[in-house]
Amino acid sequence: MSSVPERSEIEAEYKWSIGSIYASDEEWDDAYEATQEAIDDVRAYEGRTTESAATLRELLETYEEVMRQVSQVVQYANLRSNEDTRDQEYQAMAAKAGSLSSEASSAASFLEPELQGLEGDDIEAFLEEEPALAEYEHYFDDVLRMKPHTRSAEVEELLADLSEVTNAPSETYSMLTDADMTFPTVEGPDGEEIELSQGNFTTLLQKPDREFRQRVHESFYERWTDVRNAVGTTLSKSVKKDVKMAEARNYETAREAALDGPNVPVEVYDNLVNTVRDNLDSLQRHADLKRRALDVDDLEMWDLYMSLTGDEGPEIPYEQAKELVIEAVAPLGEPYQERMAEGLESRWVDVYENRGKRSGAYSAGTYDTQPFIMMNYQDDVSSMYTLAHELGHSMHSELAKGAQPWQYASYEIFVAEVASTVNETLLTEYLLENAESEELRVHALDQYLERFRSTLFRQTMFAAFEQAIHEHAEAGEPLTPDVFDDLYGGLKEEFYANSRVDDHIRREWMRIPHFYYNFYVYQYSTGISAAAAIVERILEEGEPAAADYRDALEVGGAEYPIDVLEVAGIDMTSPEPIESAIGVYDEYLGRAEDLLDL
């Protein structure tokens, strides 16, 4: 029987080096206590933020010192809790860290309301008096920009205090789906029993045996039926939280509030959804190509993840994946390539799935730590692409940290999803030119098409769903599991009009954690669009375009996201990057038709 191992069964070299943050849990305890005491140093400035330029500088320096400590305490606890979500000790540690973060946010909640008491001329006078404040100019601009949506210091403190409570829907969903839920076993093609998990679900849907794929699909979604009401409640409460928080900050809609944080125009969202919906024939061309490749009358939802070759593709062990990804990013310059290679040898990555481990993949870290990449590596082409994706995030962080002070080293997700997808695109180009086997070359092309399908089209469908459920709540309409099914199922039928949408797939919304992230998913779609344009420039122009791209990564959060992408030569306020990306998708579909003679 195939089963998921316990964490203790995985060798240390395939686990992230969390000891680089704190050597032990006891050291974390000491840091927690010291940080909790340091929070009072920030509180001491309440009411004094703008009394003088010197006081403001001292406050900002104190705030940075405390928040850097908080971020390390939180990071360690979250990584530990994600290693095994069943471990109650580490769940308690993460809860304590979350409370500490809320306490720190509450203690500093006076800062921005008090800063907003200044006018532009006041800021200029402060900058002249204290030259050290010059590095905060963009921060000051951002704070003053948000003045219409910032409440009194008292209300801001209350909202900060409530963050631990308002995060409850997302945290409850995570504990339910990662720690409490177990999935059934199904009979494999060779008669063996295979245990389903969130980590291996899509991998199993790439197996050639169609009846097996159907068993996987139906068994997996039937399990979700058992928690239907619980998941429906958590998502409903999460949406209502977004709506109420937007109202508290004087926004008309939750979407407007979410996009205004990073200063992304709402038109960018509309351009994306409308442009993709106008080009669904490209997605349906891909679906029909799969149908012909599989030689079936109707494409079912359990066929969507299948390779165009009709097989599951070559096995790509982790060590081979590392080598290929490193070679693929050569167009970004030797220093970039070497730093990535060093990181992979320095245990940035927590590689394999284990029981209780958080599902999915992500890149994390703080200004004072190395990057940490969570994987659930499955020895396949898809996992190799996920590794390239997360390394894009990590390298973005490394470049931004190296070029920016603390307050600008972090960056908006809108920009982050460009860096990850540039790596994926370069990996595809490298494999199409250099893969040692025709099998890998074909599967690389197929994987890139899948990434386009699942990133540009699927995530845009998610974005349309997210907008619909928030509009439903804003209109005062109830959000029940049946409503979610109807809204999601309708979109699935629109996007996959030439495929058969079954009742099980209407429940797919239940397994998507990103719906708890408040208008997050559209940025995957804008990211792949920008990335396609950036890679095209790099391959055509060489080092000058690569230098522009690296410069954009180094900007971090020192400029607004739309302006950051302009450094790389991309205008995301126009539909053009979306249309260009769909053109690339169509071009690759044509290449697949030729390679496979379909």
pLDDT tens sequence for the chain (598 residues): 458 899 999 999 999 999 999 999 999 999 999 999 999 999 999 999 999 999 999 999 999 999 999 999 999 999 999 999 999 999 999 999 999 999 999 999 999 999 999 988 999 999 999 999 999 999 999 999 999 998 887 888 888 888 878 999 999 999 999 889 999 999 999 999 999 998 889 989 989 999 999 999 999 999 999 999 999 999 999 999 999 999 999 999 999 999 999 999 999 999 999 999 999 999 999 999 999 999 999 999 999 999 888 777 799 999 999 999 999 999 999 999 999 999 999 999 999 999 999 988 999 999 999 999 999 999 999 899 999 999 999 999 999 999 999 999 999 989 998 999 999 999 999 999 999 888 898 889 998 899 899 999 999 999 999 999 999 999 999 999 999 999 999 999 999 999 999 999 999 999 999 999 999 999 999 999 999 999 999 999 999 999 999 999 999 999 999 999 999 999 999 999 999 999 999 999 998 998 888 7
Q: State residue 154's pLDDT score.
A: 86
The three state secondary structure string of 451-475 is HHHHHHHHHHHHHHHHHHHHHHHHC
Q: What is the pLDDT of residue 1?
A: 46
Comparing CA positions, the residue from 316, 301, 309 lying closest to residue 386 is 316
What pLDDT is recorded for position 595?
A: 82
Q: What does the block give as tokens for 168?
A: 């409850």
Give the tokens for residue 19: 């000891």
Which domains occur in the chain, in start order? 7-166 (1.20.140.70)
- Which has the closest alpha carbon to 48: 64, 65, 60? 60
Q: Respond yes or no: is residue 390 known to be catalytic.
A: yes
Q: Which residues neighbour 583 within 8 Å (Cβ) at sequence distance 6 or greater?
A: none
Q: How many CB atoms lie within 10 A of CB 583?
A: 13
Residue 372 phi, psi (nearest 5) = -130, 120
Q: How far apart are CA 175 and CA 162, in angstroms?
A: 20
Structure-token match 């351009």, residue found? 271
Tell me the pTM.
Answer: 0.84
Q: For position 2, what pLDDT does the model report?
A: 57
Active-site pick, 83, 112, 156, 390 = 390
- In total, the chain counts a number of residues equal to 598
Tokens 């997360």 locate to 390
